[in-house]
Structures are given as C-alpha cells and as structure tokens.
Structure 1
Amino acid sequence: MSTTELAWFKSSYSGTQGDSCVEVAVTQQTIHVRDSKDVTRPHFAVGREGWSQFVGFVGSAPRA
C-alpha cells in the first residue's frame, strides 16, 4: 500500500506549531508512522501487537 492510499492523522496531543509531530495511518494489519514535518521521507510500519505494546509502555512511563 502506498503512502498516498493511507489515511494519515496526527495525535490530538500534537501542538499547533507544527513541530515534533508524528502521523499514523492504521490498516487492518499494520500501524504506519511517519514524520509530519517531512512526509516525503520513508515511514515505518509495525504490527498491531507491537504497537499495542509500545502504547502500553509509553502510557505507563512516569511523567517528567
């Protein structure tokens, strides 16, 4: 699937300044992640299980 066929969106936690944001696109099997500042660069993809583990880890990390 090409990046133009994916429905990309930014997190609601992303600021309005356009800095340090990532975009994700969800398919049935995979979560695609890219840099919102340069969408022409390659993105990476991870399976749903790996994404769930990542989100669980980030969500349980202590806040600074």
Structure 2
Amino acid sequence: MRVTTETDRCVAAGVCVVAAPAVFDQDDEEGLVVVLDADPGEEQRRAVEDAAARCPARVIHVSGAS
C-alpha cells in the first residue's frame, strides 16, 4: 500500500492523525498533514482508509493491492 497526500490542499483538520497516528502527523507550524510512513503495512490499511474517508479536504490517497 502506498500513501500520498496533497499538502497544499490540506485544511489541518487533524482527523488523519486521530484515525491513523502511526501513519500521519501534523506539522508544528500550520498543522498540515505529514506522512510518517508512506508504505505502511497491511495491518494499517483499515486505519489509513478510514483517515482518507474522513478527510474533509480529500487530500489522502491510498494505492496498492489490498
């Protein structure tokens, strides 16, 4: 699985961090999404897909086989 984000469109809601704290964080300056692990293991898939679904700006993208 591969995780990418569009930081320039992020609205700093933070739901990604709540849903998948092992994969996402927020920067200290603006609170924008930071990907901690762009290639998380399959055990993180549900959390990452939840984060992507809950993101109000729809800036989280998940690719790769499930």
TM over 0.5: no
TM-score (normalizing by structure 2)? 0.28
Q: Report which of the two has the higher share of strand.
A: 1
Please give the TM-score of this superposition, normalised by the length of structure 1: 0.29
Larger radius of gyration: 1
Structure with greater helix percent = 2
